[in-house]
Amino acid sequence: MGDPDQGLNNKLGWGSPQKLKERGTNILGDDSFFATLHGTLGAGTYNQLVAAHLVRNRIAHSGGQAQSKFVKHLTAEGLSAAERMGMSVGRYLRDYPTVAPSTQRHFFKYLDAYETFANHALTALP
CA 109 to chain centre: 11
List all residues 6 or more positions away from 6 whose beta carbon is below 8 Å from its beta carbon: none
pLDDT given for residue 79 in this prediction: 95
pLDDT given for residue 3 in this prediction: 53
Low-confidence ranges of the chain (pLDDT < 70): 1-14
pLDDT given for residue 1 in this prediction: 45
Rounded Cα gap, residues 39 and 46, in angstroms = 9
Global pTM value: 0.85
